[in-house]
Amino acid sequence: MSEVLVLDHPLIQHKLALLRDKRTGPKDFRELLDELSMLMAYEVTRHLPTEEVEVETPVGVARCRVVTGLHLALIPILRAGLGMVNGILRLVPTAKVGHIGLYRDHDTLQPVAYYCKLPPDLAQREVIVLDPMLATGGSAAEAVHLIRRQGARSIRLMCLVAAPEGIEVFHRAHPDVPIYTAAVDQCLNEKGYIVPGLGDAGDRLFGTR
Ligand code: PRP
Ligand code: URA
């Protein structure tokens, strides 16, 4: 079974509460998602290796640690995953960004792929897949299949709100891929929405409701 890491830092939980609120409009939704992604990136990148270097300060020589060979690839699932990219890029500006376009068919809830453009050297990169919602799990599982097909070996999934059903489906498809989330909610409703969730993340982010 892959790990599920629920990031319960007070700032993450506070901002998630604001994001969930139905009165939060697209401008604030975008800003909150951006801030949440930056805060969550702190945990999602915790495993990155570091090495010791010496740095000359104005006063002496400090032994410091720097991240070695930081080769990250951020892969947002369109559309809502786009809202999670910039917060992480501000911390790791050298990360490459790939894009996977998927939407859920309204009737079957199955993911339909319409775009895939990934960095060519995925086998050498630490991959972080970005999508705020893990509902049935179909979109994230399909995205990771596409990413593996291009050679990626080290993959993490970063979402904001996960349903137990989605975690189960994703686990079965990719037991070695850890899931980082800010919350595990109750269930899915009959339309495949996470309850209580936050509604349609893409529509709230881009104001297309
Ligand atoms: C949403 C969300 C995920 C997907 C999750 O995208 O951003 O990608 O649903 O659902 P699942 O776990 O059941 O697959 P949506 O299909 O609404 O596409 P959009 O972002 O383009 O609106
Ligand atoms: N996609 C969303 O944007 N929200 C949900 O609750 C489920 C899927």
**Minimal-distance CA residue to ligand 1 atom 14:** 139
Each residue's pLDDT tens digit in the chain (209 positions)? 669 999 999 999 999 999 999 999 999 999 999 999 999 999 999 988 899 999 999 999 999 999 887 689 999 999 999 999 999 999 999 999 999 999 989 889 999 999 999 999 999 999 999 999 999 999 999 999 999 999 999 999 999 999 999 999 999 999 999 999 999 999 999 999 999 999 999 999 999 97
Amino acid 209: pLDDT: 76
Amino acid 1: pLDDT: 61
Q: Which of 137, 195, 200, 129 is nearest to 167 (CA)?
A: 137
Amino acid 21: pLDDT: 98
Q: Is 202 in the pocket of ligand 1 (CB under 6 A)?
A: yes
Residues labelled as active-site residues? 104, 108, 200, 203
Q: Which of 128, 134, 141, 133 is nearest to 98 (CA)?
A: 128
Q: Is 193 in the pocket of ligand 2 (CB under 6 A)?
A: yes
Atom of ligand 1 nearest to the CA of 139: 14
159 φ, ψ (degrees, to nearest 5): -125, -175
Q: Is 80 in the pocket of ligand 1 (CB under 6 A)?
A: yes
Q: Is 206 in the pocket of ligand 1 (CB under 6 A)?
A: no
**Minimal-distance CA residue to ligand 2 atom 5:** 193
Kindly tell me the sign of the dihedral angle through the C-alpha atoms of 149, 152, 158, 164.
positive
Amino acid 2: pLDDT: 65
- Ligand 1 centre to CA of 111 (Å) is 8
Amino acid 95: pLDDT: 94
Contact indicator for 43, 36 with CB cutoff of 8 Å: no
- Ligand 2 centre to CA of 57 (Å) is 49
- Ligand 2 centre to CA of 74 (Å) is 21
- Ligand 2 centre to CA of 133 (Å) is 6
